[in-house]
Chains A and B, each alone.
Chain A
Amino acid sequence: MMDEALKQELRKQGIVATTLQELYNWGRRNSLWPLNFGLACCAIEMIATTMARYDLARFGAEVFRPSPRQADLMIVAGTITKKMAPQVVRLYNQMPEPKYVIAMGACAISGGPFKQGYNVLKGIDRYIPVDIYIPGCPPRPEALIDGFMALQRKIEGQTITGEGRPDFMKDEPSCDFVVPEFAAHDLLPTSNQGVWEAPQLVNITTAEKPGTVKA
């Protein structure tokens, strides 16, 4: 990295010094184009965020693209049913890299209030990698903006070389994003092992508490 004091000194002389990585991340984070894609209630708050009062355009993200081919960011705004989940994964696969996903609202995170239902997917992170989770039912526009800024900070911190570089810059992607199929009882596969691991269920009444000593 360049010496910050030297950089400031050069700037006074009218010379802007930067790195390719900084320039690249600056460009990406300030012109995220979301996919024009609403699923349920949260989509209305997403629309409200783009309107004059909250004005997502301040963050360079007012250009909602109807086509996944032109979008960088998928805001999963609403309940994903088992009928809709394959289409969501298909849309994600159609988006060009680099791409990001925001899970907006309780339903996109975990199924939300409809989790007990027979037709609701219990979180979109079972099939596609999610960058930012925004809780709420629905989240307020301010919450979406906050999540959006968190995503911008995340992009700012990404490296374009070395081990920590994002998945799409590696030669071998870590996994495919399989489109699930609507099968007899559930979606098949029920989750994508490459992006989601089923949490280990622990019975807290019988499990040993950490730090306890057996008599």
Chain B
Amino acid sequence: MSTFSAPAMELTPKPSYAADGAQLLEVSMGPQHPSTHGVFRMDVALDGETVVKLKPIFGYLHRNHEKLGEDQSYIASMPYTDRLDYFCSMTNNWAYALAVEKLAGIVVPERAEYLRVITAELTRLQNHTSLVGFLMQDMGASGTPLMYAFREREKILDLFESLSGARMMCNYMRFGGCRVDLPKGWQQQAQSVVDAYPKFLDEFEALLTSNEILMARTQGVGALSSELAIAAGITGPMLRASGVNYDLRKVDAYGIYDRFQFRVPLGDHGDVYDRCMVRLLEMRESLEILKQALRDLPEGPIQDPKTKVRNFKPKPGEAYGRIEAPKGELGFYLISDGSANPYRFRVRPPSLINLTILEDLCLGRNIADVVIILGSVDIVMGEVDR
């Protein structure tokens, strides 16, 4: 007999009732739903239009990243990190490289550090741009904002493609540096993208931020208090929208982030509007970092020559590397037993932990608000389910 059996799906579940005796309507949103940002399911109980219970159901995209990471060499996991949060392959690469560099005590050359900052900030730009576009799509602004967002995203993807050979799955970083140096003319191309970006942001903000429908739909919706955000371990723009000044680029100052002048935008109310605005403002700060990094980019090697590419075996020990990914704190926890494969390969995904408070945000709201609250959390199922 089997040792494990999945519970049979209840096709006719028992009806549940509200306090006043009215029967609740149970809706299963997902896994195939246009607004769930992938294969995510929510079992929602509704009293009329109001959400009284929300149960998230995960695991539709569980691709065994952690198990695969333990079964293969350190460097072989690098392309898999691209596919965790498939919008932000560069930052995933960086977080993993950082963990391994801590584990093995590798020093990264200065030019490589600058390249990492440049690619990571470009990633943040395109992630936030697409997120705002998708949020508008969820709100019913079908097509246009997302088209504008993807138009700008393609410019950044072109940069990634000419640098790494791939649009989305860049697989660019290596332990102790980066894989390839900049191609000829890349820096000027990046500079022109950075210079043209504020114009797009102005246009985007003019269209959106003072839009009456947008304000009515988002202000006061899904408000997250700073106490709950801290208690639940929320990170990233979502935490900062609740007014908590916590940005790993400032707190850890990993890499060379202490060399750049930039501000950390904070929200006030923690609602969907603030989360959207914090991201729009963060993009402007990213552009500031990019300007400084492109200006100061030094010449030199891009790879630590002492790091072995083949037969890479770090000493036994453990390390946790974390960075401020566009969605929050992305961490990799590695245990080495001295062999070529990690003994334990653990990912701390920001999307999953930011999603844990979904029910708290949605209770008492309308079913239509659930969609935009989920959109404002900014999840990618590849990272949530791993």
- Choose among B39, B67, B71, B382 the residue that contacts A41 (Cβ–Cβ < 8 A): B382
- Choose among B2, B67, B87 the residue that contacts A44 (Cβ–Cβ < 8 A): B87
Contacts of B60 in A (CB 8 A): 81, 83-84, 87
Contacts of A113 in B (CB 8 A): 79-80, 83
- Choose among B67, B87, B154 the residue that contacts A118 (Cβ–Cβ < 8 A): B67
Q: Determine if A207 is an interface residue (Cβ-Cβ < 8 Å).
A: no
Q: Determine if A43 is an interface residue (Cβ-Cβ < 8 Å).
A: yes
Q: Determine if A184 is an interface residue (Cβ-Cβ < 8 Å).
A: yes
Q: Determine if B109 is an interface residue (Cβ-Cβ < 8 Å).
A: no
- B71 adjacent to A39 (CB under 8 Å): no
Known A84-B61, A87-B32, A117-B63; contact A38-B38, beta-carbon cutoff 8 A: yes
Contacts of A58 in B (CB 8 A): none
Q: Determine if B257 is an interface residue (Cβ-Cβ < 8 Å).
A: no
- In the bound assembly, the distance between CA atoms of A162 and B336 in angstroms comes to 65
- In the bound assembly, the distance between CA atoms of A83 and B59 in angstroms comes to 7
A17: shortest Cβ distance to chain B, in Å? 39
Q: Which residues of chain B (233-258) have a CB below 8 Å from chain A?
A: none
Query: Which chain A residue has the least Cβ–Cβ distance from B382?
Result: A40
Q: Determine if A137 is an interface residue (Cβ-Cβ < 8 Å).
A: yes
Contacts of A120 in B (CB 8 A): 63-64
Q: Determine if B62 is an interface residue (Cβ-Cβ < 8 Å).
A: yes
Q: Determine if B168 is an interface residue (Cβ-Cβ < 8 Å).
A: yes
Known A84-B61, A118-B64, A138-B169; contact A40-B38, beta-carbon cutoff 8 A: yes
- Choose among A53, A114, A117 the residue that contacts B150 (Cβ–Cβ < 8 A): A53
- B61 adjacent to A117 (CB under 8 Å): no
- Choose among A47, A81, A119, A185 the residue that contacts B2 (Cβ–Cβ < 8 A): A185
**What sequence of 0s and 1s flags, for each residue 108-152 of chain A, a beta carbon within 8 Å of any chain B beta carbon?**
000001101111100000000000000001101000000000000
- In the bound assembly, the distance between CA atoms of A185 and B147 in angstroms comes to 44
- B63 adjacent to A119 (CB under 8 Å): yes
Query: Which chain B residue has the least Cβ–Cβ distance from A79?
Result: B63
Contacts of B71 in A (CB 8 A): 116
Known A81-B60, A119-B63; contact A39-B39, beta-carbon cutoff 8 A: yes
- Choose among A47, A51, A91, A184 the residue that contacts B3 (Cβ–Cβ < 8 A): A184
A47: shortest Cβ distance to chain B, in Å? 7
Interface of chain B, main secondary structure: loop
Query: Which chain B residue has the least Cβ–Cβ distance from A48?
Result: B150
Known A41-B168, A66-B33, A91-B32; contact A83-B38, beta-carbon cutoff 8 A: no
Q: Which residues of chain B (281-318) have a CB below 8 Å from chain A?
A: none
- In the bound assembly, the distance between CA atoms of A46 and B72 in angstroms comes to 30
**What sequence of 0s and 1s flags, for each residue 20-44 of chain B, a beta carbon within 8 Å of any chain A beta carbon?**
0000000000011110001100000
Contacts of A43 in B (CB 8 A): 38
Interface range for A: 35 or more
Contacts of A48 in B (CB 8 A): 150, 153-154
Q: Determine if B5 is an interface residue (Cβ-Cβ < 8 Å).
A: yes
- A52 adjacent to B150 (CB under 8 Å): yes
Contacts of B154 in A (CB 8 A): 48, 51, 53
- In the bound assembly, the distance between CA atoms of A119 and B4 in angstroms comes to 14
B366: shortest Cβ distance to chain A, in Å? 19
- A137 adjacent to B169 (CB under 8 Å): yes
- In the bound assembly, the distance between CA atoms of A39 and B38 in angstroms comes to 6
- A40 adjacent to B32 (CB under 8 Å): no
Q: Determine if A72 is an interface residue (Cβ-Cβ < 8 Å).
A: no
- In the bound assembly, the distance between CA atoms of A206 and B376 in angstroms comes to 58
- In the bound assembly, the distance between CA atoms of A45 and B63 in angstroms comes to 19
- In the bound assembly, the distance between CA atoms of A81 and B41 in angstroms comes to 14
Q: Determine if B102 is an interface residue (Cβ-Cβ < 8 Å).
A: no
A114: shortest Cβ distance to chain B, in Å? 5
Q: Which residues of chain A (173-191) have a CB below 8 Å from chain B?
A: 182-185
Q: Determine if A31 is an interface residue (Cβ-Cβ < 8 Å).
A: no
- A41 adjacent to B83 (CB under 8 Å): yes
Q: Determine if B115 is an interface residue (Cβ-Cβ < 8 Å).
A: no
Contacts of B62 in A (CB 8 A): 81, 83, 119
A143: shortest Cβ distance to chain B, in Å? 11
Q: Determine if B151 is an interface residue (Cβ-Cβ < 8 Å).
A: yes
Contacts of B6 in A (CB 8 A): 182-183
- In the bound assembly, the distance between CA atoms of A91 and B39 in angstroms comes to 13
- In the bound assembly, the distance between CA atoms of A81 and B39 in angstroms comes to 10
Q: Determine if B86 is an interface residue (Cβ-Cβ < 8 Å).
A: yes
Residue from B39, B68, B154 with most neighbouring chain A CB atoms (10 Å): B39
- List of 8 A-B pairs having minimum Cβ-Cβ separation, nearest first: A184-B2, A117-B64, A41-B86, A51-B150, A66-B34, A114-B63, A84-B60, A182-B6
Mark B residues whose CB is within 8 Å of A. Answer: 2-6, 31-34, 38-39, 59-64, 67-68, 71, 79-80, 83, 86-87, 146-147, 150-151, 153-154, 167-169, 381-382
- A sample of 10 inter-chain contacts (CB < 8 A) reads A38-B39, A39-B61, A40-B83, A48-B150, A53-B151, A84-B39, A87-B60, A116-B71, A119-B63, A182-B6
